[in-house]
Amino acid sequence: MDKKVVVFGEIMLRLATHDYLRFSQATSLNATFGGGEANVAVSLANYGIPTDFVSRMPDNDIAKACLMDLKRYGVGVDNVISGGSRLGIYFLETGAVSRGSKVIYDRAHSAISEIKKGMIDWDKVLEGATWFHWTGITPAISQGAAEVCLEAIETANRKGITVSCDLNYRKNLWKYGKTAGEVMPQLVAGNDVVLGNEEDAAMVLGIHPEGVDVTSGHVEAAAYESVSRQIMKAFPRCKMVITTLRGSFSANHNSWAGVLWDGNKLFESRQYQITHIVDRVGGGDSFMGGLIYGLLSYGDDHQKALDFAVAASALKHTIYGDFNLVTVDEVEKLMAGDASGRVSR
């Protein structure tokens, strides 16, 4: 059976300063596109998985350029619906050393924020799909986006399609009168695979890891087993909880690893030291794209799926922009221990 993945969410115009400049210094901004779910879609398309991106976008030249960009990377866009007047924007100031990166959103009244139930025929969109993915960013945008996301999850559940989510808590987005804790549990209840980190679990689900300090540069993977158990207990449909483990030494140097709990065993990846980060935006999305690929491609080998996800996202930190533009061969080479960065001729 062909493996087809459908993702739903917002893609934005990304305007970023050059060369670590502050917003107050920049006289020009570099324009690309990005967004949590679209980033996952590009990863999967790069790995050869048929992938459809579903969203609502305006009928204007910026949106058309965005669709052309997605198609260039092999992502299906036939189920993007047209409507609304603007594409969301986010501004990025890339940090360095002890100065963290900064994101400013300009996405109020974007086309997808005004989406309503019934606008997308999910039975049709999900026909033949193997997997449906969403993130906690989408229900944070608006009540309508949350309701459409629930429509999709319920349709996928009815069709027997695997559903995954990245909890992706964004405190600056929950502005329409409801908190993540009020909205997200109903959506997470329909998921088979849940990805998050220590902040996501605490802020979205009220579940707290013990003895974890991510600013120390060292994160103890075993501390997350209790969180995973709590999530599975609260959401019985969930079969797998994955946690990304990022230790922040500075804006340019992070440690990166992951753990996967399948209800019986805690799988732990090797830890990568990413010492010269080019762009960490989209790092978690590249992990999710790698994880979905691994779970679809490696059968019940959960260790290999986790290792692929961590290696893929470690490589993403070396690539400018939201999208992870790496191949399966490149990821598997790193998994096998070749981190030399030698020229390929």
Q: Residue 341 — very low, low, confident or very high, per pLDDT cuts 50/70/90? A: low
Which of 137-151, 171-185, 225-239 has the largest mean confidence?
137-151
- Given this model, what pLDDT does residue 31 score? 97
For residue 106, give Cα distances in angstroms to 91, 140, 207, 212: 8, 14, 30, 33
Phi, psi of 231 (to 5 degrees): -65, -45
As separate numbers, helices (DSSP H) first and strands (DSSP E) second, the chain gives: 11, 15
- Return the minimum-mean-pLDDT range out of 71-85, 174-188, 223-237, 277-291: 223-237
pLDDT score at 161: 98
Among the listed ranges 75-79, 209-213, 287-291, which one has the minimum average pLDDT value? 209-213
Tens digit of each residue's pLDDT (9 = 90 or more) over 102-121: 999 999 999 999 999 999 99
Domain range annotation of the chain: 5-335
* The pLDDT value given to residue 245: 85
State residue 256 phi and psi, 5-degree precision: -145, 125
Q: Are 292 and 6 in contact (CB under 8 A)?
A: no
Q: What is the mean pLDDT of the chain?
A: 92
pLDDT at 197 over 90: no
Helix ranges (DSSP H) in 126-264: 137-141, 143-159, 180-188, 198-205, 225-234
Edge to edge, the sheet with strand 102-106 lists: 30-34, 12-16, 89-93, 102-106
Mean pLDDT of 278-303: 95
Is 212's pLDDT higher than 90? no
Residues 77 and 85: their CA atoms lie apart, in Å, by 19
For the residues 28-38, what does the mean pLDDT come to? 97
In this predicted structure, what is the pLDDT of residue 338?
74
What fold characterizes domain 5-335? UDP-N-acetylmuramoyl-L-alanine:D-glutamate ligase (3.40.1190)
pLDDT of residue 219: 53
End-to-end, the C-alpha distance of the chain in Å comes to 36
Q: Indicate the SS3 state at residue 74.
A: coil
Assess whether pLDDT exceeds 90 at residue 221: no
pTM (predicted TM-score)? 0.93
Average pLDDT over residues 164-185: 93
